[in-house]
Structure 1
Amino acid sequence: MTLLLDTATQDLLFREARTANTFTEEPVTDEQVQEIYDLVKYAPTAFNQQPLRVVLVRSAEGRERLVRHMADGNKPKTSTAPLVAILAADNEFHEELPTVLPSFPQAKDVIFGERPVREQSAALNAALQVGYFIIGVRAAGLAAGPMTGFDAEGLNKEFFADGEHSVLAVVNIGKPGENAWYPRNPRLEYDQVVTTV
């Protein structure tokens, strides 16, 4: 075994972790979310940009605004999850970065360039951050139910009327409830994925 994580931690974060479809009523606290964020904020991104933005949906009014844009199959679980996070890419993320990045002189052309270039960079790097966010939720002993089944244009207008953000995923968060798991689908084996040149 060459992995540094013990077997129980490997199981918690990867092998036994599943996408939850039902949740208990146990609340997810702001302190838990803060700890998750503080753990995952060091996710690797190009030029250390941090385009991920998170909207926590806690209020009944916010939940109603969200659920109407979810695909029909996702509405019930989104309605009942203790906490729902909308994860979006900030396409104007460069405004949060220093004007000069001395370690990366090429950054100015890449990330301060035209809007389509920034949108592509924001989407890729925020997606990396989304993956880390899900692992962070698992590390907190919670289950994540990430979804992309929603009306993205509707969600963007509903929660990001400034036009500067693009929703990437909606994640239900909480303790798994009864019958939370669908049967696990198979995964590709190592030799189906990895080649060496």
Structure 2
Amino acid sequence: MNITTEQLFDDARTHNAWLDRPVPDELLHRLYDLMKWGPTSANCCPARILFVKTPEAKARLVPCMSEGNQAKTAAAPVTAIIGMDMHFYEKLPQLFPHNPEARSWFEGKPEVIHSTAFRNSSLQGGYFIMAARALGLDCGPMSGFDAPRVDAEFWLGTAVKTNFICNLGYGDPSQLFPRSPRLAFEQACRIV
């Protein structure tokens, strides 16, 4: 696989319109198998991903989206709900075996659990987008949704909470609007 910075960053765009081209399940497996190698603190890996593909699941998800995100979510071949497992620390004996005390860093500490789960599942969400782009998929990440409603619809009975949602597929380049500007180095960075 020959991946370029253009494919990952320079030429990559956030897509809102989608070509009628399916995304095979095997590609979703490959996407996860790439993104899982990105680092998280104490290898906690709190992200949980639900790939919404079927018409029945889409019919449950679309009403949870903000009005401006409903049509593009309905049209996307796949919509990924990136969740954060608030009981991630229970898997630390498997994921961080060289420190048997790691669970105790989190158990009974809701603020530490939340900040760790949110920060690291967000990192994993970034890896998810880069892995999707590396595999030739386009992404449309969003935060316009009713999180408690998504949680009740898709994560009920679990310790997982929704972090963000990302449409996946093959974007329609004819529907892109001009690229939005970004801050210059001097506006966003300092070297001290």
| TM-score higher than 0.5 | yes
Count, aligned residues = 191
Counterpart of 1:191? Answer: 186
In the TM superposition, residue 109 of structure 1 has moved relative to its aligned partner by 3.9
Return 5+ residue gaps in structure 2 as ranges.
none
Return 5+ residue gaps in structure 1 as ranges.
1-5
Normalised by the length of structure 2, the TM-score is: 0.92
State the identity %: 39
Normalised by the length of structure 1, the TM-score is: 0.89
For residues 77-117 of structure 1, the C-alpha deviation after alignment (integer angstroms, 9 at most, x for no partner) is 10011111111001011122207956557734433342332
For residues 117-174 of structure 1, the C-alpha deviation after alignment (integer angstroms, 9 at most, x for no partner) is 2122101100000000001110111100011000011111111112511111111111
Equivalent residue in structure 1 for 2:139, among 136, 141, 144: 144
For residues 3-44 of structure 1, the C-alpha deviation after alignment (integer angstroms, 9 at most, x for no partner) is xxx8x7110000110100111111101111111111111111
What's the secondary structure of 2:132's corresponding residue? helix
Counterpart of 2:11? Answer: 16
Structure 1: how far apart are the matches of 2:36 and 2:16? 26
What's the secondary structure of 2:30's corresponding residue? helix
For residues 54-73 of structure 1, the C-alpha deviation after alignment (integer angstroms, 9 at most, x for no partner) is 01111111101100000001
Q: CA RMSD in A?
A: 2.0
Counterpart of 1:3? Answer: none
In the alignment, structure 1 residue 123 sits paired with structure 2 residue 118 = yes
8 A Cα contact 2:19 2:172, kept in partner: yes
Equivalent residues in 2 for 1:54-133, closer than 5 Å: 54-98=49-93, 101=96, 103-104=98-99, 107-133=102-128
Runs of 4+ in 1 over 2 A off after TM superposition: 99-113
8 A Cα contact 2:47 2:121, kept in partner: yes
Structure 2: how far apart are the matches of 1:185 and 1:178? 15
